Structure 1
């Protein structure tokens, strides 16, 4: 009767709601109020009438109200204040109700799973999040992860049984292990990584007409829901839904944030245990608050499989999608098991969503390493540095100085969360708990500390395996017995003369940060470490000097904004092209880059802040005749750090140049090095004039009217200095 009246609109909606809620007094009145309020707003009366009219024949009469309400409740939470669009309503109704779906998980079974959640999980918001997603994904069981070693061993044994992990017999401890992925699932997929907001301009700048934007991808909420409805219903059938409570940053730190990730991948659980502070202690710290980031991940391979797996690695590359929903503080990833796409605490939370949180709350979430350097006099300073992926962040963070009396200690190698304290000092924490480093090129010469770090408790992905059960990748040639045979990351016999690599260029090690022999004693300080200098850098084969200092904070923002580098294997780009990678954050901006620049610039106007000095480095400049690197790099980079920390102390060891302050010729310690100082620090004006034109064009095409005027002013000043 009520639905009929709604269809004819012959009785006011509030009266119908009141009558109906009293008539069905055995059900929660609030449920019915929500039911009819949303139904009336949606104006989808015909469809409601259809489902109600058919319900007598579809369901047992006592289940009709529960079934239809659960459909609507899911629609409300899935699409606030709106019903699910017409083409997807029946599919969504079937998914939530259990009717018509080819799955053994009915609504009743889903509720049974949620009732099996441990009593220790007291947070109603977390329970509701799990129940809502279980209804849609339909796992066979739910496991709340406690982070214990016993649990971890069980997961490792499960993956070995499934053929997803191999034991590396060479090592006498229980770890490490080797995973090989599907060849189509080996890196971050920028083309399928999106931010969804109601307003497109909140996410990406207004690009010039006819120009494809490269500073993020946006999807409307409507299109996102269609994409999710096409992927997630029943996606965990036959699998376990693992619930991962994790903290980004030291548990309880005012700089830290908590997340809850749901996943059907034991590989993700094992890796998140290394990369984050994970387990029961996080739930205790969360208490009964709703203050957590909701993360959902599925490999997109329900059981039984519809097609065979490659390397026993479940993934769904054709439907891979990594989404961020800032308005709901939610991250949803489908189809990929690769770390950057599936370990949602990493780039997704710590950078994309993290940068949005940072803007809201007045701090920084940056793609930066954090290190401490102590000089021979015992004076210690902390530095952060932003390099694009695979440009040497881990090597610098774990530097072994060649200069006597210097010591470098590692706080983090990839991500920094920074906030000014009450005294105006910028303090940073490493939100991660482990290292997810690029393996190729890592050896006892380039990074001995990394080699010691990964000797145990490590998961390797897509590296080669030696016949004695060890690991191999390009860079270990001199440290590997040539008589050993090697199996490549593709499972094939390695032919050293073929020119094909044994390890994928983006192969990784995942190891606990606490195992690093030079881990800083303050790396888990809840207050963070005080930052004295910020460094930007990339791979620039020509034109860019070894190091220079910005004139001030605003000029430093231009230095970060104009960062360019050769593309790396960490993303799907091919070839060695020079790409704009502002702040080394291009793949990781969570919001409009123009607004991001305004956020950075705003700190120059705030009184009482002790703004760190900003520098740019380039370890990769080449001799244009020989093609060889001009700078030896690695441990010798401590010489550049020495100059930087002396500049922080305002030593008079710099001279003006059009692009910034350069070291005076005698100020950089060059003892024992065979390098050409003039070539290292040459600032060719024609090159830099072209650089200015490229930057100006990039800003015009990619940022447009969202570019802060101060950036154009800084660019004009740079051009003027070059023309003088």
Structure 2
């Protein structure tokens, strides 16, 4: 019996092959040659054609001609509107009820609960992954998916996460009834008919998505954006390498190659195969006349990953190049080097706050061939969002907000949603690294963790070793962001910046990291923590950030090269005074305040971290982490 039947038990797999495939004659193939596909792909498509009951099947090839056809349809429907000032750029407005990742409705389904969530203690909130039993999951899915594509086209999207054919890449097939998803997936992943050749009769990650609006749909459709927000349900099956998403058309909920596959499912695959799937940017930095170093960095969503990945240095002569801005797949090679690839092919970045001053390279990346979601549009055919005020010449120009209302700069309210996005090809980034699609990946020298920490946490510090570095990552906290459904300025735990993206038991995940430290012959990267967001007594940021972050990366590179520019502290190695180049910004930086370690703050912080890990990870917390916590407490008590 197929594992597929854990969720759809009413059809036997043999019947799929013997009955449903011949019946495809009754479901028109709108595009593509179904019978030329690999056998496993045909069975997968046939199964869901019978189960979801679409009016037709559209097998995608990722071509420009295909995209043009879909764009014209969406323009006629009113879903997309052209931005006339740019080449092949469009704006899309979603239903206001469908604007962000919905973590509360995102589940991991495994037969054993503790394959997904740790053995928690006391009042654990279970924030490190949500488990659902196969039986309960089946009930939820059975009440949603049967016949949910009636009257709609079923798009079949073959895609590769990572360069097509790379030993570090993985293949997926997404089935969806959203042509917006098709357009974004062809930007964010590698969609091409070559996938079928590479796949052959091998395995692939199964991705099933529906907006949950079969026709005739009796509810009002807002902004030409069909969705079913009251019924959103996103289920991951790591043991089966499968994702099923219902009700939402927004980004991470529907572009299943992104967080669902590239993190939650890949996270479990990486554990099984001995590598790492992480919520990290990858960048190469070269100082004048020096060697290039590669850095991976993990920050929660909307905490500056894209800005750092595309950093425009304020120090002359530095070269910064972007490999990826959001996700890293990393594997140790036979030489013991940690090699990383960016599994994605595009950027799905937060638009508000992005401008020619804060991130000129991101701006340059989406000047053509891009899709903007929930941004505003000016009357002369340009995009607009908060942060672009100083870059609009005509301050009285008419603007249509993301809610379709007329608005002008200076009026109350916001023009764009705080989580408005740009979706653009990575190849268009002016500083994209020449090796960004190297099938062997790039060698990682340092790993950074960080978040929005307004008090107590210094600009940068280095861990005392690999195990301590894993604790530093596990202890990450940050203010909540607009990327998910949370509101306010609450400081939340976000260990390894993976809290919303864990695909299996977090205690086992920490142990997976630690086991690399137990192996001999591996060239382990140094691990650091950075905090661009510390504020002073006046409430202003103590560090200028953006392009000046190169100064911190300069210090990181010095440490990678084992230069003696650090001093021991209770929390790790801190920069020696003067070891960070402050030329030109001396009057903006209060060094002592920026690197101060208030004892009471850190004593409270490590106690709170210990309580969090005890509560949320419980019996699955590795002993090495407990030992590192104890060492840190002892150091803090001696401050």
Equivalents in 2 of 1:431, 1:127: separation in Å? Answer: 25
Is it true that 1:239 corresponds to 2:169 in the alignment?
no
Equivalents in 1 of 2:489, 2:464: separation in Å? Answer: 31
Select which of 391, 395, 400 maps to 2:303: 391
Moved over 6 A (4+): none
Select which of 360, 367, 385 maps to 2:272: 360
Equivalents in 2 of 1:540, 1:583: separation in Å? Answer: 15
The Cα offsets for residues 469-491 of structure 1, whole Å up to 9 and x where unpaired, read as 11000000000120211111000
Report the equivalent of 1:709: 623
Residues 568, 574 of structure 2: 8 Å contact kept: yes
Equivalents in 1 of 2:610, 2:137: separation in Å? Answer: 33
Equivalents in 1 of 2:5, 2:438: separation in Å? Answer: 40
Is it true that 1:79 corresponds to 2:13 in the alignment?
no
The Cα offsets for residues 630-652 of structure 1, whole Å up to 9 and x where unpaired, read as 10000000000000011000000
Equivalents in 2 of 1:120, 1:279: separation in Å? Answer: 17
What SS does the aligned partner of 1:401 have?
A: coil
Deviation at 1:709, TM superposition (A): 1.2
- The TM-score, its normalising length taken from structure 1, stands at 0.85
Select which of 168, 173, 184 maps to 1:260: 173
The Cα offsets for residues 603-647 of structure 1, whole Å up to 9 and x where unpaired, read as 1110100000000000000012x1000100000000000000110
Equivalents in 2 of 1:294, 1:675: separation in Å? Answer: 51
Report the equivalent of 1:688: 602
Equivalents in 2 of 1:196, 1:119: separation in Å? Answer: 31
Select which of 549, 568, 581 maps to 1:637: 549
User: 1:338 and 1:690, CA in 2 relative to 1: closer, same or farther beyond 3 A?
Assistant: same
Deviation at 1:422, TM superposition (A): 0.3
Deviation at 1:495, TM superposition (A): 4.8
Aligned ranges 1:95-106 → 2 under 5 Å? none
Is it true that 1:152 corresponds to 2:59 in the alignment?
no
The range that moved more, 547-556 or 702-711, is 702-711
The Cα offsets for residues 160-197 of structure 1, whole Å up to 9 and x where unpaired, read as 111110111222x2x10000000010000000000000
What SS does the aligned partner of 2:607 have?
A: helix
Deviation at 1:79, TM superposition (A): 2.9
Equivalents in 2 of 1:220, 1:453: separation in Å? Answer: 43
Residues 173, 204 of structure 2: 8 Å contact kept: yes
What SS does the aligned partner of 1:188 have?
A: coil
User: 1:77 and 1:211, CA in 2 relative to 1: closer, same or farther beyond 3 A?
Assistant: closer
Equivalents in 2 of 1:196, 1:114: separation in Å? Answer: 33
Aligned ranges 1:392-431 → 2 under 5 Å? 392-431=304-343
What SS does the aligned partner of 2:563 have?
A: coil
Select which of 475, 481, 491 maps to 1:568: 481
Equivalents in 2 of 1:563, 1:212: separation in Å? Answer: 17
What SS does the aligned partner of 1:328 have?
A: coil
User: 1:77 and 1:421, CA in 2 relative to 1: closer, same or farther beyond 3 A?
Assistant: closer
Select which of 616, 628, 635 maps to 1:721: 635
Equivalents in 2 of 1:482, 1:653: separation in Å? Answer: 48
- The TM-score, its normalising length taken from structure 2, stands at 0.96
Equivalents in 2 of 1:267, 1:119: separation in Å? Answer: 22
Deviation at 1:121, TM superposition (A): 3.2
Deviation at 1:210, TM superposition (A): 3.6
Is it true that 1:599 corresponds to 2:512 in the alignment?
yes
Equivalents in 2 of 1:642, 1:499: separation in Å? Answer: 42
Equivalents in 2 of 1:616, 1:78: separation in Å? Answer: 42
Select which of 408, 413, 428 maps to 1:515: 428
The Cα offsets for residues 63-113 of structure 1, whole Å up to 9 and x where unpaired, read as xxxxxxxxxxxxx66435x995xxxx7xx89xx99xxxxxxxx99754533
Select which of 485, 497, 520 maps to 1:584: 497
RMSD: 1.8
Select which of 436, 452, 475 maps to 1:539: 452
The Cα offsets for residues 204-243 of structure 1, whole Å up to 9 and x where unpaired, read as 1122234321111111111111111100111111111000
Equivalents in 1 of 2:40, 2:28: separation in Å? Answer: 13
Report the equivalent of 1:665: 577
Select which of 435, 454, 470 maps to 2:366: 454
The Cα offsets for residues 3-47 of structure 1, whole Å up to 9 and x where unpaired, read as xxxxxxxxxxxxxxxxxxxxxxxxxxxxxxx8xxxxxxxxxxxxx
Say how many residue pairs are matched.
630
Residues 79, 224 of structure 2: 8 Å contact kept: yes
Deviation at 1:656, TM superposition (A): 0.4
User: 1:196 and 1:111, CA in 2 relative to 1: closer, same or farther beyond 3 A?
Assistant: farther
Deviation at 1:115, TM superposition (A): 7.6
Select which of 254, 263, 274 maps to 1:342: 254
Task: Name whichever structure is richer in helix by fraction.
Answer: 1
Equivalents in 2 of 1:141, 1:410: separation in Å? Answer: 40
Q: Which has the higher contact order (CA 8 A, sep 6+)?
A: 2
Is it true that 1:223 corresponds to 2:149 in the alignment?
no
The Cα offsets for residues 138-159 of structure 1, whole Å up to 9 and x where unpaired, read as 0000010011110000010111
Consecutive unaligned residues of structure 2, counting only runs of 5 or more, are none
Equivalents in 1 of 2:353, 2:629: separation in Å? Answer: 36
Equivalents in 2 of 1:211, 1:647: separation in Å? Answer: 38
Equivalents in 1 of 2:234, 2:74: separation in Å? Answer: 24
Aligned ranges 1:35-434 → 2 under 5 Å? 78-80=4-6, 84=9, 110=24, 112-113=26-27, 118=33, 121-171=36-86, 173=87, 175-289=88-202, 291-434=203-346
What SS does the aligned partner of 1:357 have?
A: helix
Equivalents in 1 of 2:557, 2:296: separation in Å? Answer: 12
The range that moved more, 669-678 or 109-118, is 109-118
What SS does the aligned partner of 1:614 have?
A: strand
Equivalents in 1 of 2:487, 2:269: separation in Å? Answer: 32
